[in-house]
Amino acid sequence: MKMRLTDILAKDVPVLNKNRPLLDALDMLNKKGLESICISNDGKIVGTLSYRDVLFRIGTQRLRAVAPESLYISGFVSDFPALLSNDTPVRRAAKLLLELSSQALPMFYGDTFLGLVYRSGMLRLVQDSQVGTSSIIRRNFPLLRPHERVINARKLLLEGGVTIIPVVNEDGRLLGVVTEKEILNSLIEFHKYVPEKHQKARIRQLSVSTAMKVSIPTVEGDLSLGEASRRMIKERLPGLIITEPSKVVGILSPEEVLEYIVGSFPEEQ
C-alpha cells in the first residue's frame, strides 16, 4: 500500500512561545533530537525554528557582540514558507522541502494545525525500496580538514547545499563529520564563554576539530536505499558517509532521498 504524507506526519511537535529565550529552543532541539520545533504567538502556531535558522543569523556581525542568553526566539523564527494539506502529493511535498530549503513543513486542515512533515520523516516513504544507493548518493561534496575554521564550516553548510560534511586528514582518511547542529553549538559555546573583546581574534582560532562528531555513520559497498533509510531512522542519523577503503566517495542524507522522490515518484503520489 502506498504511503501518504499523513502516514509520516509528526503530530506531537514541541511548541515554544516566540518570547522565550533562544537557548530554551536550542536546548529542546538538542534534547529531542529534532530538526525543528514549532513556534507560537498568542496561542497560535506561527512558524518553526531549526538549527539552520539560528546558524544563518548567529554568524552575522550584528549578533556577534550579543550574549546568547540575551537572544530570544522571536529574532530567529521562520514563517511558514508553504502549507501542506492531508491530500498534498508526496512528490509535491518533497519538491517544496528541497526548493524552500526547509527542515519541515506544516500540515493544516483548514485553520487547524495537524503537525509537521519533517525531511527525515520522508525516509519512511522509501524504507522498503530495493534501489541501490550508488545511483542516488551525492558524489560532489565539500570536505573539511580538522584545522579549518568553524566559521568556514558554517559557510559551507549554509551555501554548499549539504547538511553533513566529512572531516578528513591530509591523506583523505575520514576523521569525523560536522552538521548544522555541531557547528551551531560550537559557536554558541564560543560566544557564551569568550569575552567580547577577545572574540574577533579568537573566532579565527576556533577549529573544526573542536566541533566535529567523531562517531561516524559510515557504509561500505552499495546497500539498498531501503536499508540505508532504515538505518538512518533507527539510529537517528543526519546522513551516511559512503566509503571505500580509506576514502570518502559519497554522502547520503535526506536531501538526496528527497531528490530521488522528486525524480521517481509519480505526480499524484
Residues 43-95 have pLDDT tens digits of 899 999 999 999 988 866 555 667 888 899 999 999 999 999 999 999 999 99
Backbone angles phi, psi at 75, to 5 degrees: -85, 0
Distance from C-alpha of 133 to C-alpha of 229, rounded to nearest angstrom: 10
First-to-last alpha carbon distance for the chain, in angstroms, is 12
- Interhelix angle 254-264/225-235, rounded to 10 degrees, is 140
Place of cell 487547524: 112
| Nearest CA among 188, 185, 181 for reference residue 165 | 181
* pTM for this entry: 0.90
Computed on alpha carbons and rounded to an integer, the radius of gyration of the chain in Å comes to 19
Q: Which pLDDT does position 182 carry in this prediction?
A: 95
Asked if residue 252 lies in contact with residue 136, where contact means CB atoms within 8 angstroms, the answer is: yes
- The band of 200, judged by pLDDT with boundaries at 50, 70 and 90, is confident
Q: Which pLDDT does position 61 carry in this prediction?
A: 53
Q: Which pLDDT does position 27 carry in this prediction?
A: 95
Q: What are the structural domains of the chain?
A: 5-125 (3.10.580.10), 133-264 (3.10.580.10)
Q: What is the SS3 assignment for 119?
A: coil
Place of cell 519512511: 124
Q: State how beta strands 44-50 and 36-41 pair.
A: antiparallel
Q: Which helix (H) or strand (E) holds 104?
A: strand 104-109
Write the pLDDT tens digit of every residue in 134-168: 999 999 999 999 999 999 999 999 998 789 999 99
Q: Look at residue 216 and tell me whether its pLDDT is greater than 90.
A: no
Q: What is the SS3 assignment for 156?
A: helix
Write the pLDDT tens digit of every residue in 88-124: 999 999 999 999 999 999 999 988 999 999 999 999 9
Q: Which pLDDT does position 60 carry in this prediction?
A: 62
- Interhelix angle 150-159/51-58, rounded to 10 degrees, is 120
Write the pLDDT tens digit of every residue in 245-260: 878 999 999 999 999 9
Which of the pair, 2 or 186, is modelled with greater confidence?
Answer: 186
CB within 8 Å of 148: residues ≥ 6 apart = 207, 208
Asked if residue 134 lies in contact with residue 208, where contact means CB atoms within 8 angstroms, the answer is: no
Q: Which helix (H) or strand (E) holds 181?
A: helix 180-193
Write the pLDDT tens digit of every residue in 159-186: 987 899 999 999 989 999 999 999 999 9
Distance from C-alpha of 229 to C-alpha of 257, rounded to nearest angstrom: 9
Write the pLDDT tens digit of every residue in 7-28: 999 999 999 999 999 999 999 9
